[in-house]
Amino acid sequence: MHASDTTQGRGAAGVAEFQGPSPRGGVVQPNRNLLVRKLNPPQSWNPRVENYLRATGFYHVSRIGMIRGFHPLLAALVERWRPETHTFVLPVGEVTVTLEDVAHIFGLPIDGEPVSGWTDNSSDFVQSQSMAIFGRQPVLSRNSKSYIKLGWVRSIRDEEPLDTEESIRRYVRCKIFCLLGSTLFTDKSTAYAHAKYLPLLRDFERIHTYSWGSACLAHLYRALCRASRYDTKEMDGPLNLLFVWAWERMPCIAPVPRHILPLAEIPVAMRWSHSERSAAWLEKTVETFRHDIDYMQEGFDIGIICGSLSGGRTKE
């Protein structure tokens, strides 16, 4: 962690209440309403496929329930983001979301092969990959023929009888594809996922060999860099990861004290699912979150996620 002038982290996002001198010098910009991407309710899954989900590395992230975002907090965080270093500039120094954080919060694998490959947007590619993964022709986005409707994928999953090995694997592939589109690599549509991920799911035995956590973290960094532009109106990306990281690392901005939450376990995000929020916290604005961040103290308001997972109160 390196100390730095906190005023430098605000200009990029342009989030403040007024124009004029800030308390620490420099000029802050007018507020903008940075919207939180609408999150779909989490989807349950048949317990008969648990061992298959474990084998693919997606068991932990599939257990995370609804985590409600809050746009004033998001705006206060984004204005602290420095794209050139991929860090949040705080009064106590610079911090960022790490691979270890992703492993603890989402329980995703962070070692292995990169999530990469060639992208083919042709209709033949989408059709052939969809037949191989889902066993039928896809329902595509009207705007882009390379995006597959997640609602259609969920319906395919729920129709699987789970009476054969192939049926179970198809069910799990559908579940993972929905997680990719709704949790790991989300975009602003919230209803579609790109067909480019389908080839990574064809070989069931290789799904666990990819570093899904690394790709998810890269997606978050890119989303934060885009959101830091002054003309951006909405942020996508793995926002569950960002909010839980902020609440675990900075208790002063969390909706509830950590000690009243369930025991920390992998995935840490689970204990923030459906967490209660006080009326006072819901009334907070960008300005009050900014104040909380400005006056945090090193060693007291900066928590260590892995530390909370090694204090004898955790389980996996």
> 180 in a domain, yes or no?
yes
Q: So what's the pLDDT on residue 220?
A: 97
Within this chain, do residues 200 and 229 fall inside the same structural domain, yes or no?
Answer: no
Mean pLDDT of the chain: 83
Give me the number of domains the chain comprises. 2
What does the pLDDT look like over 157-173, one tens digit per residue? 999 999 999 999 999 99
pLDDT band at 305 (very low <50, low <70, confident <90, very high): low
What does the pLDDT look like over 180-232, one tens digit per residue? 999 999 988 778 999 999 999 999 999 999 999 999 999 999 999 999 998 88
Q: So what's the pLDDT on residue 27?
A: 39
> 49 in a domain, yes or no?
no
Q: So what's the pLDDT on residue 16?
A: 30
Query: What percent of the chain has pLDDT above 70?
Result: 80
Side-by-side strand order, sheet with 81-82:
81-82, 87-90, 93-95
> 250 in a domain, yes or no?
yes
Last residue of a domain, one of 179, 209, 239: 209
pLDDT band at 100 (very low <50, low <70, confident <90, very high): very high
CB 108 within 8 A of CB 209: no
Within this chain, do residues 205 and 226 fall inside the same structural domain, yes or no?
Answer: no
Within this chain, do residues 82 and 122 fall inside the same structural domain, yes or no?
Answer: no
What does the pLDDT look like over 5-29, one tens digit per residue? 333 333 333 333 323 333 333 334 4
Within this chain, do residues 238 and 203 fall inside the same structural domain, yes or no?
Answer: no
Query: CB-side exposure of 274: number of CA atoms within 13 Å?
Result: 6
Within this chain, do residues 169 and 125 fall inside the same structural domain, yes or no?
Answer: yes
- H-only helix segments in the chain: 50-56, 59-62, 71-78, 99-105, 123-134, 150-159, 165-179, 199-202, 212-227, 239-249, 279-282, 286-294, 305-308
- The bridge status of strand 35-36 relative to strand 27-28 is unpaired
Across the range 227-246, mean pLDDT stands at: 93
**Among 46, 39, 34, 32, which residue's Cα sits nearest to residue 241?**
39
Within this chain, do residues 158 and 203 fall inside the same structural domain, yes or no?
Answer: yes
pLDDT band at 34 (very low <50, low <70, confident <90, very high): low
Gap between the Cα atoms of 197 and 219, Å rounded: 14
Last residue of a domain, one of 153, 184, 209: 209
Within this chain, do residues 146 and 172 fall inside the same structural domain, yes or no?
Answer: yes
**Among 243, 252, 267, which residue's Cα sits nearest to residue 37?**
243
Residue, of 288 and 233, whose pLDDT is higher: 288
Q: Which domain holds residue 120?
A: 116-209
> 304 in a domain, yes or no?
no
The answer, yes or no, to whether residue 179 has pLDDT greater than 60, is yes
Q: So what's the pLDDT on residue 14?
A: 33
Calculate the alpha carbon distances from 31 to 14, 180, 287 in Å: 7, 32, 9
The residues, any chain, with a CB within 8 Å of residue 20's CB and separated by 6 or more, are 27, 28
Within this chain, do residues 199 and 135 fall inside the same structural domain, yes or no?
Answer: yes
Provide the phi-psi class of 14: left if phi over 0, else alpha when psi is between -120 and 50, else beta: left
Within this chain, do residues 133 and 200 fall inside the same structural domain, yes or no?
Answer: yes
The answer, yes or no, to whether residue 117 has pLDDT greater than 60, is yes
CB 61 within 8 A of CB 108: yes
CB 131 within 8 A of CB 123: no
Within this chain, do residues 125 and 191 fall inside the same structural domain, yes or no?
Answer: yes
Q: For residue 122, count CB atoms less than 10 angstroms from its CB and return exposed for 0-12, middle for 13-18, buried for 19 or more.
A: exposed
CA angle 18, 24, 27 (to 5 degrees): 40
Within this chain, do residues 169 and 205 fall inside the same structural domain, yes or no?
Answer: yes
> 107 in a domain, yes or no?
no
Q: So what's the pLDDT on residue 275?
A: 80
Within this chain, do residues 86 and 124 fall inside the same structural domain, yes or no?
Answer: no
Gap between the Cα atoms of 119 and 117, Å rounded: 7
> 15 in a domain, yes or no?
no
> 276 in a domain, yes or no?
yes
How many other CB atoms are found less than 10 A from the CB of residue 27?
12
* DSSP element (H, E) containing 20: strand 20-21
The answer, yes or no, to whether residue 73 has pLDDT greater than 70, is yes
How many other CB atoms are found less than 10 A from the CB of residue 24?
12
**Among 267, 278, 251, which residue's Cα sits nearest to residue 309?**
267
Give me the helix-helix angle, 239-249 and 71-78, nearest 10°.
80
CB 267 within 8 A of CB 63: yes
Gap between the Cα atoms of 252 and 101, Å rounded: 19
Across the range 263-292, mean pLDDT stands at: 92
> 40 in a domain, yes or no?
no
pTM (2 decimals)?
A: 0.83
